[in-house]
């Protein structure tokens, strides 16, 4: 059985992961509007991945006999000056997610909730990867600067990331 405190924290994290999905979806739309189709696809894949993070937490609450409570998802920014600004925002966002995960880990340790602690191990590892991915793209974008050729190449590279599920076309 989950304590009410842990249950509330995990529900909060579900909201945050869905907010993350929303944020990446908005970044994807902005990249698509700027014809950066590879980046748009990478960001769409990331948006989908965030939903799976929310669902992992959701399933933990259900399996432990807890109650799911879904709060409204906050509004996100709609446009970024350039890809560097967007990926810098993504990196800062991921650092914030890491802090939130670490706080719930601390809570689980304090309450000796071993099952929650164990489940959160996956998120601790995942956050290392999330921050590393965003950092690598930020660093490449810094090197690229205003050069359209290398930006085109990076866009192509990022477009190689597969989607988790296909999206029906709008036409």
Beta carbons within 10 angstroms of residue 168's beta carbon: 5
Query: Which residue from 11, 15, 20, 47 is in contact with ligand FEO, where contact means CB under 6 A?
Result: 20
Query: Which residue from 7, 94, 113, 155 is in contact with ligand FEO, where contact means CB under 6 A?
Result: 94
Q: Give the integer Cα–Cα distance in Å for 61 and 14.
A: 10
Asked whether position 17 contacts ligand FEO by CB under 6 A, the answer is yes
Report, in Å, the least distance between residue 93 CB and ligand FEO. 7
Helices (H) and strands (E) in the chain, counts: 5, 0
Q: Give the integer Cα–Cα distance in Å for 156 and 138.
A: 16
Q: Is 134 exposed, middle or buried (0-12, 13-18, 19+ CB in 10 A)?
A: buried
Asked whether position 26 contacts ligand FEO by CB under 6 A, the answer is no
Asked whether position 28 contacts ligand FEO by CB under 6 A, the answer is no
Asked whether position 43 contacts ligand FEO by CB under 6 A, the answer is no
Asked whether position 50 contacts ligand FEO by CB under 6 A, the answer is yes
- Which residues bind to ligand FEO, rule: CB under 6 A? 17, 20, 50, 53, 94, 97, 130
């Amino acid at each position: 059985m989950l304590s009410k405190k842990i249950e509330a924290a995990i529900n909060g994290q579900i909201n945050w992961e869905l907010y993350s999905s929303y944020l990446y979806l908005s970044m994807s739309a902005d990249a698509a509007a700027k014809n950066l189709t590879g980046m748009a696809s990478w960001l769409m894949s990331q948006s989908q991945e965030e939903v799976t993070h929310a669902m992992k937490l959701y399933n933990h609450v259900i399996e432990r006999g807890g109650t799911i409570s879904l709060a409204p998802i906050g509004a996100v920014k709609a446009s970024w000056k350039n890809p560097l600004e967007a990926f810098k925002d993504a990196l800062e966002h991921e650092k914030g997610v890491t802090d939130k995960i670490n706080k719930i880990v601390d809570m689980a340790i304090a309450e000796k909730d071993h099952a929650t602690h164990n489940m959160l191990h996956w998120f601790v590892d995942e956050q290392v990867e999330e921050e590393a991915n965003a950092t690598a793209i930020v660093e490449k974008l810094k090197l690229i600067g205003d050069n359209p050729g290398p930006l085109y190449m990076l866009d192509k590279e990022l477009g190689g990331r597969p989607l988790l599920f296909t999206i029906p076309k709008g036409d």
